[in-house]
Amino acid sequence: MFGSDLGARLLELSLSNAPKRPEDARADERAASAKPPRLRVISTEGPAEREARPAPSEPAGARRPQPMGLDLSSFEDLGADRYRSPGGVVVKLTKREGGGWDIAEAEFAGPSGVEQLADGRVRVRIGDLRFEYSGDIESRLHRRS
Per-residue pLDDT of 39-65, as tens digits, reads 666 666 666 555 555 555 555 446 778
The full set of domain ranges for the chain reads: 1-34, 47-54+64-133
Helix (H) or strand (E) run with residue 6 in it: helix 5-17
Per-residue pLDDT of 70-122, as tens digits, reads 888 889 999 888 999 998 999 999 888 888 888 888 899 888 888 888 887 88
How far apart, in Å, are the Cα atoms of 52 and each of 58, 62, 83?
Answer: 18, 24, 15
Rounded to whole angstroms, how far apart are CA atoms 105 and 102? 9
Rounded to whole angstroms, how far apart are CA atoms 78 and 92? 10
Q: Are 53 and 41 in contact (CB under 8 A)?
A: no
